Amino acid sequence: MTIVLNLILVVQILAAMAMVGLILLQHGKGADMGASFGSGASGSLFGATGSANFLSRSTAAAATVFFLCTLALAYFGTRPAGTGGVMGELAGKPLLTQSAPAPAKPAAASSQGGVAQIPGSAQAPAAPASQPAAPKP
């Protein structure tokens, strides 16, 4: 499974580099703007510039390959550990294990009537509230 993921990753990187190169080779739509205002070889001001040429079709193909590789990496990378996903396994052991939460430890009682001291506090703890004695029948 790791070989397939590495292959998809290499294809994705190559597609990204091809997209960057192809986009930088193309000229923008605003490059012919000055020609339309007077010195002109442009057919229209804001209209269609004609059919797509080789560079724009190659850019679209590289973008499609990049998008499909991204989807494949996301799918294979987030699968649960038991189904062959690589994000949840490390040397055959799952990274996340479900365990019971640790039991809560009771606060340490101080020597002043069982009231817990807050570490770093300068004030003495308040005295425990006295409860009235139950009436005797």
pLDDT tens digit at each of 137 positions of the chain: 788 899 999 999 999 999 999 999 988 776 666 655 655 555 555 555 556 789 899 999 999 999 999 999 999 888 776 555 555 444 455 555 566 666 666 655 555 555 566 666 566 556 666 666 777 77
Instruction: Give Cα 56 distance to the centre of its chain.
Output: 30
Return the pLDDT at 136: 74
Cβ atoms of 31 and 39 closer than 8 Å? no
Kindly report, residue by residue over 94-130, the tens digit of the pLDDT.
555 566 666 666 655 555 555 566 666 566 556 666 6
Across the strands, what pairs with 116? 109
Q: pTM for this structure?
A: 0.49
> Residue 11 and residue 87: Cα distance in Å, rounded?
20
Cβ atoms of 27 and 20 closer than 8 Å? no
Phi-psi region of 92 (alpha: psi -120 to 50; beta: other; left: phi over 0): left
Q: How far apart, in Å, are the Cα atoms of 13 and each of 62, 65, 92, 114?
A: 11, 10, 28, 65
Residue with tokens 């005295």: 127
